[in-house]
Amino acid sequence: MATEQFLNGLKRSAATLRAYRADLNHLQRWLLERQQDLDAPALEAYFAAHEWAASTQNRKQTAIERFCRWARQHGKLELDPTLHLERPTVPPPHPRGLRREDVERIFAVIPASQARDALLFRLVFETGLRISEALNIHLDDLDLTKGDEHLTVLGKGGQRRTVLLDDPKLVGALRKYLRSLEYEHGPLFQAQKNGRGGPLRYQSVQERWQRYAAQVGVSCTLHKLRHSHATELVNGGVNLGTIRKRLGHRHIQTTLRYAEVSDASADAELRKWRRSRK
């Protein structure tokens, strides 16, 4: 294997070159020990003999694929043995939410004069709405019948769903905010630039949220508020089907990403099940 010749022609960072060298040298030693050539059956056997994590195998496979492509172009291989190699699937990371205490610390620094911001961010946190869904809420989408407060949102794919407003603090803030408005129709959350109402832009809202979060030293994107709500529901024992409907997921597999409950929640659920059997 002409590993060094291949690496010398690569324009990559020093760290990437070190990783490629290590991966290619490991493969070369394995082939030499078994007196095998670099071909498709040997590569399949090589990966089958090692139980690497999907992300590790993907990295090694990238190095080998690029080397073989280079070797084919320079006449050092007749055929590219990586053409039919299958890539392992790397599962998406579990969404990470914030603890309620940290979110409340951010809410605490929002000035009383910024009632719109406070309500918007609490609405996302307490209902798990996408920020785009929250920004598109109109006054006509609200139903504040006492004891059955809810709203209708337009989600992904043009799908409408009803979201229960079950947090008393949120409902109270919403009623107070509505009393302060000088209009009865249109977007619930309007821009205040030049004294004229208009739809809020996502970028503007995200920047405002980041400033509030920075004041208390908490790293949190707006979308993480949605993750935080979903995580609270899972850890509270809410059925995944209910969470799926609440969040507007089309597929239950998306909701299952939140199913990594805490050890304490898992222990509490098992104890409850055990007591029910006595």
156 in active site: yes
223 in active site: yes
Helix (H) or strand (E) holding 182: none
Residue 137 CB neighbour total at 10 angstroms: 20
Q: Which residues in 3-39 are b (16+ Cβ under 10 Å) and which e?
A: beebbeeeeeeeeeeebbeebbeebeeebeeeeeebe
257 in active site: no
138 in active site: no
Tokens of 213: 């979060």
Tens-digit pLDDT profile for residues 201-230: 888 999 999 999 999 999 888 999 999 999
Single-letter amino acid, residue 57: Q
Q: What percent of the chain shows pLDDT beyond 70?
A: 92
Q: Which one from 74, 223, 250, 271 is the annotated catalytic residue? A: 223
3-state DSSP percent of the chain in helix, strand and coil, to 5: 55, 5, 35
274 in active site: no
258 in active site: yes
Q: Which one from 21, 59, 130, 150 is the annotated catalytic residue? A: 130
Q: Which one from 12, 94, 99, 156 is the annotated catalytic residue? A: 156
Q: Which one from 122, 208, 224, 226 is the annotated catalytic residue? A: 226
Q: Which one from 20, 46, 212, 258 is the annotated catalytic residue? A: 258
Ranges in the chain, pLDDT < 70: 90-95, 193-197, 259-267, 269, 278
CA dihedral 243, 246, 252, 253 (to 10 degrees): -80
Tens-digit pLDDT profile for residues 149-186: 999 999 888 889 999 999 999 999 999 999 999 888 88
Cα(27)–Cα(31) distance, integer angstroms? 6
What domains are there in the chain, each with its CATH number? 3-73 (1.10.150.130), 100-273 (1.10.443.10)
Q: Report pLDDT for 42.
A: 94
